[in-house]
A and B are shown apart, each in its own frame.
Chain A
Amino acid sequence: MKAVVETRELTKRFGDHYALAGLTMTVPRGQIVGFLGRNGSGKTTTIKILLDVVRRTSGEATVLGEPTGSVAVRRRIGFLGEDKRFYSYMTVREIIAFTRPFFPTWRVETETRLLMDFELPLNRKVSTLSKGMRTKLGLLLNLCRHSELLILDEPSEGLDPVMAEQMLQSLVRQAADGTTIFFSSHQVAEVEQIADHVIAIEHGRVILEGSLDDLRKKFRRVNLVFDDPPPPEAFRRDGVDRVIVQGRTISILASCNVDELAALGPLLAAKSVDVQPVGLKELFLEKVKADHANS
C-alpha cells in the first residue's frame, strides 16, 4: 500500500459553512509530510475526520487502506492533538501504564530511553505539567508505539524554539525507523526543514501539493526590468503562475518553461534578467493569493 492516507473530494459542512470543500490528497508512505495551511483553513477538521472524531459530510477518506472509523487501524497509528491535555488527574506514570496495553507494537526500551531523554517526572500529575512537558509526554505516548503512521496537529504550537527543535528531532528519528509522519502546521519554516512532501490547503481545498524538492527544482521567479514594460499578457503561457508588474519590473512565478521566459527578456529589450529559486513561503503565499483571486 503506497499511500497511508487518502482523501477524495472530502467535504465537511458546519451549518452553512464549508470547512472542507472537496479535499483530495494522498499521503505517501515512508515520508515526512507537512500539511500546511493558515488558521481556519481546515487542517484540524481534516485530521479529526481521519481519526473519526468528526464525521465527514461527503467524499471519501481512508487511513492505512481502511475507511476512517476502523478501530483496528487506530492500533497501528499514533496521534498527537493540538491540545495535548490528556487526563489531567493521572500522573505521568499512570497515563503511560494506561496507554501501553492498547498497542501491541509498544517497545519498553523506547519508553525507558525517552523518559530519560525527556526528563519526564513520573509521579507528577499531568495537570501540573507545562505545555512543553505535555508535548514531550504526548510524543512519548506516541513514539513508543512505533506505529506505521504518526499524525500530529500543530506539534510545535506553544513551544519555545529549543523545544520545537527537539520535537522535530524526535520526529526525524521516528521517520528513520520507517514511520510515516503527517503533521499539520501553519509555520512554513518547519515544513521546509523536515518535510519531504507538502500538502497546502486553503478554504478547505488543496492549493499546492508535491515533493518539496520537486517544487524547489521546478519553480523559479524571473524578474525582468524594462524601460517601458510590455503588457503582462505577453508573458502568459504554460507554467506561468503569476505575472506581477511593479513599476519597471515584471516579476513572473513559473513552474516550467523558465528558460523560454528568461530568453524573452533580451527579445523584448529588457534592461536586466534575473532568475531566482523560490522558497516555500513565497510559493505558498502566491498560491493563497491566487486562490482568493479565483473565489
Chain B
Amino acid sequence: MVIRLNPSSGIPIYLQIVEQIRHSIEIGALVEGDQLPAIRTLAEELVVSPNTVVKAYDDLEQEGLIRLRHGAGAYVEKGNLAKSRLRRFREASVVVKETVRKLRSMGLSDDQSRRLFEAEWIEEAAAR
C-alpha cells in the first residue's frame, strides 16, 4: 500500500490517509483480511504524527472498512460496502452542489445545464 501525502495542501493529513486507504480497498489493492501497519509503524513510515494515524484509523473503523485489534495492528474488514456507498453518495452530492453553483455563476440556466449533462452522457455512451 503506497500512501503519498501532501501536508501543505490544506487538506487534513488524516483525511488524505483515509481517502487513499479507502481507495485501495475499493479498487481491490487491499482486500478483506489484509493487515494494515500498526499505528506507530505507519506514523514512522510516513513521518507524520501518530495522532494523525489514530484519527485516520478511527475514521476508517467508523466506516466499517477496517477493524483495529488492540496490540495486533489493523485489518481490512469484510468491507461494509453499504457505508462506503453512502459515503460516495455524500461526496458526489458535494460535487454536484459545487458544479451547479459554478454553472449558475457562469450564467447558465438550469435548463441549459441539464441539456449539457444529457449531451455529455449520450456522447459518452456512444463512444463506448
Contact = CB atoms under 8 A, between A and B. Distances in A.
Interface in B30-74: 39-40, 43-44, 47-52, 55
B78 interface: no
Given A189-B7, A277-B11, A32 B51 contact: yes
Contacts of B39: 176
B51 A272 contact: no
Interface in A13-28: none
A195 B47 CA distance: 10
Interface stretch (B20-28, B79-87, B102-110, B112-120): B102-110
B8 A281 contact: yes
Contacts of B43: 172-173, 175-176
B75 interface: no
A124 B47 CA distance: 30
A176 B46 CA distance: 13
A66 interface: no
Interface string A230-265: 000000000000000000000000000000001001
Interface residues of A, number: 36
B8 A172 contact: no
Contacts of B40: 173, 176
Interface in A252-295: 262, 265-266, 270-273, 276-282
B48 A172 contact: yes
A273 B50 contact: no
Contacts of A213: 12-14, 55
A262 B98 CA distance: 10
A-side interface mostly: helix
B49 A32 contact: yes
B41 to A, nearest CB: 9
A209 interface: no
B101 interface: yes
B-side interface mostly: helix
Interface string A196-222: 100000000000000011001101000
B92 to A, nearest CB: 18
Nearest to A177: B40
Contact of B47 (A169, A212, A216, A265): A169
Contacts of A281: 8
A175 B52 CA distance: 11
A194 B8 contact: no
Contact of B8 (A30, A31, A270, A280): A280
B122 to A, nearest CB: 28
A262 B52 CA distance: 30
Contacts of A282: 10
B64 to A, nearest CB: 22
A173 B44 contact: yes
B49 A196 contact: yes
- Of A32, A165, A193, A279, chain B has the most CB atoms within 10 Å of the CB of A193
B47 A172 contact: yes
A293 to B, nearest CB: 23
Contacts of A279: 8-10
Contacts of B12: 212-213, 216-217
A277 B101 contact: no
A168 interface: yes
Given A172-B43, A176-B39, A216-B11, A266 B105 contact: yes
Given A172-B50, A173-B44, 5 more contacts: A168-B47, A175-B50, A216-B10, A266-B104, A272-B105
23 contacts: A168-B47, A169-B44, A175-B50, A175-B51, A176-B39, A176-B40, A176-B50, A194-B49, A196-B52, A213-B12, A213-B55, A216-B10, A217-B12, A262-B101, A266-B101, A266-B105, A272-B105, A272-B106, A273-B105, A277-B9, A277-B10, A277-B11, A279-B10
